[in-house]
Structure 1
Amino acid sequence: MQLTINRIDTRYVLDNEGGGPWLVFIHQLAGDLSIWDQMAGYFRNDFTVLRYDLRGHGETTVSPDSFTIDDLADDLAQLLEQLGAPSAHVVGLSIGGMVAQKFAINHAAKVESLTVVGAPAFIPEDARPTFAQRAASVRENGTASIVDATLERWLTPEFRKAHPEVTEPIGETIARTPTESFARAAEAVSRFDARDKLASVDKRTLVIAGQHDTGTPHAASKVVADTVPGARFELLNAAHLTPVEESQRFSGLLGNFLRGSS
C-alpha cells in the first residue's frame, strides 16, 4: 500500500488483525520494512502494526532534496495522520531509533511509548566524517560495495555463519538501496543530535542495545536511557540487529514493555 507523504510516495504495510493500539516499527539505514516481518507476526494479534519504508528505501521514492532526521519524524507524523491513527507505540532501529527519538520530541502527543534500538542520542563530532565518507564512497561505488562491511557490523560472525538464509536477504536489501538515498540518509545521520530535548520526553521508554554492536556501542545507546527520565535499558547478546539476532528475547522484552508488565 502507498500514500504520498510530504511529496514522497511512501510504502507501508498495516497488520490489524487484533484491532488493538497502534504499534509502529521504523527500520535501519539501507534496510526496509521487511526487517520487522517477524516482529509484526508476534504482535499483529494484539496491536495494529504499521511498518513503512523511509524515504528512498524499499519501495518508497527517493527524496528530491536533502533532509534531516526531523524531516523523517515529520513523515511519520503525516503517515499516522493520513491513516487516522491518533497516537502509537513507536519502535525504531538504528536510524529508525533516531527518527523515533525526534518523533517523541517533536510530536509528543502522538506517542504512547518509545522504544529505541541500537541508536545513540547524538553523533559525536569526531564520528561525523565517517558518515560523510560512507556517503561519498557509495556515491562513487554504489551500495553493493558496502554490503560485506555492513553485515559484519550488523550481525555477529556466529549468526552470519549459522543463518545465511537470514543474512543474505538483508545484504540484498542493502545492495538495492538507491545510491543517493543512502548518501542523503547517511548525511542526515551525521547531523543527528537529540540531547537538548531528550530530557523532556515524558513517555515510557525502553532502550535496547547489542553487546557486540561496533557501529553503535551500547554505551552510546545507554546515553538515551540515562537522559530520558525513567527509561529502562536492556543489553542483548547480539550485534546491531538485535530484533533479528535475538528475536525471541527482543519480542519478549518489547511485549512485556508494551503491555506494562515490566
Structure 2
Amino acid sequence: MQVNINGIDTRYVLSNEGGGPWLTFIHQLGGDLSVWDQLAGYFRDDFTVLRYDVRGHGATGVPDKPFSVADLSRDLATLLDALGAPHTHLVGMSMGGMVAQQFALDHPSRIDTLTLADTSAGTAPENRAVWDQRAATARREGMASLVPATLSRWLTPDFQAAHPEAVEQIREVLQHTSPAGYALACEALRDFNVQERLNEIRLPTLTVAGRHDTGTPPAATEFIAKSIEGAQYELLDAAHLAPIEQSHRFAALLETFLETRV
C-alpha cells in the first residue's frame, strides 16, 4: 500500500488479522519493511501490525533535500494519523530505534510501549566523520561498495553460513537502496543526539543489544536502558541485527514484554 506522507509517497504493510492493539516496526538504515516479515507473521494474530519504508528507503520516495530524525518522527506521526491509529506499541532497530526515541520524546502519549534494538541515543563528535564517509561513498560509488562491510557488521559469520536465504534477502534490499536516500539518512543520523533527554521518557521500555555488534556496541544500548527509568536491558548472542539473527528469542522477549502491558 502507498500513502502520501508529508509530500513523500510512502509504502506500508498493515497486517490486522487479529484486530488487536497497534504494533509498529521501524527498520534499519539500508533496510526496508521486509526485514520484519518473520516477526510480523508471529504477532499479526494478536496485534494490528504496521511496517513501513522510511523515507529514502525501499519503495518510499527519496526527498530532494536533507532531513532530520525529527522529520522521520513526524513522518511516523502523519502515517499513524492517516491510518487512524491513535497510539501504538513501537519497535525500532538501529536507525529505527533512533526514530523511535525521537517519537517517544515528540509524541509520548501515542506510545503504549517502546522497544529499542541495537541503537544509540546519539553520535559522539569523534564518530561523526564515519557517517560523512558512508554518505560520500554511497553517492560516489553506489551501494554495492558498502555491502560487504555492512553485512559483516550486521550478521555474525555463523548466522550468514546457516541462513544464506535470509542473508541474501537482506543483501538485496541493502544493495538496491537508493544511494541518495541512504546518504541523506546517514547525515540525519550523524546529527541525531537525544542523550541528555532520555530521562524525559516515561514509558515501559525494552532495550535489546547484540553481544557481537561492532557498529553499535552493546554499551550504547545499555546507556539508553540506564537513562530511562525502569527500562529492561537484554543482551542476545548476535551482531547488529539482533531481532533478526535471534528472531525466536527476540519474539519471546517482546511477547512477554507486551503481555505484561496490554
Q: TM-score, normalised by structure 2?
A: 0.98
> Secondary structure of 2:200's partner?
coil
Aligned to 2:70: 70
**Partners of 2:139 and 2:36 in 1: CA distance:** 27
2:126 paired with 1:115 = no
**Partners of 1:63 and 1:208 in 2: CA distance:** 31
**Partners of 1:240 and 1:60 in 2: CA distance:** 24
The 5 A counterparts of 1:28-107 are: 28-107=28-107
1:162 deviates by 1.3
**Partners of 2:164 and 2:135 in 1: CA distance:** 27
Aligned to 1:134: 134
Q: Deviations over 1:32-53 (max 9, x none)?
A: 0000000001100000000000
Aligned to 1:224: 224
1:156 deviates by 0.2
Letter in 2 for 1:207: T
Q: TM-score, normalised by structure 1?
A: 0.98
**Partners of 1:153 and 1:163 in 2: CA distance:** 16
The 5 A counterparts of 1:1-262 are: 1-260=1-260
**Partners of 2:85 and 2:36 in 1: CA distance:** 20
**Partners of 2:81 and 2:49 in 1: CA distance:** 15
1:16 deviates by 0.3
Q: Deviations over 1:186-221 (max 9, x none)?
A: 011111101122111111000000000000000011
Provide structure 2 residue ranges, at least 5 long, that are not aligned to the other structure: none
Of 195-204 and 81-90, the range deviating more from structure 2:
195-204
**Partners of 1:64 and 1:72 in 2: CA distance:** 15
**Partners of 1:259 and 1:75 in 2: CA distance:** 28
> Secondary structure of 2:184's partner?
helix
Q: CA RMSD in A?
A: 0.8
Q: Tell me the number of residue pairs that the alignment of Structure 1 and Structure 2 aligns.
A: 261
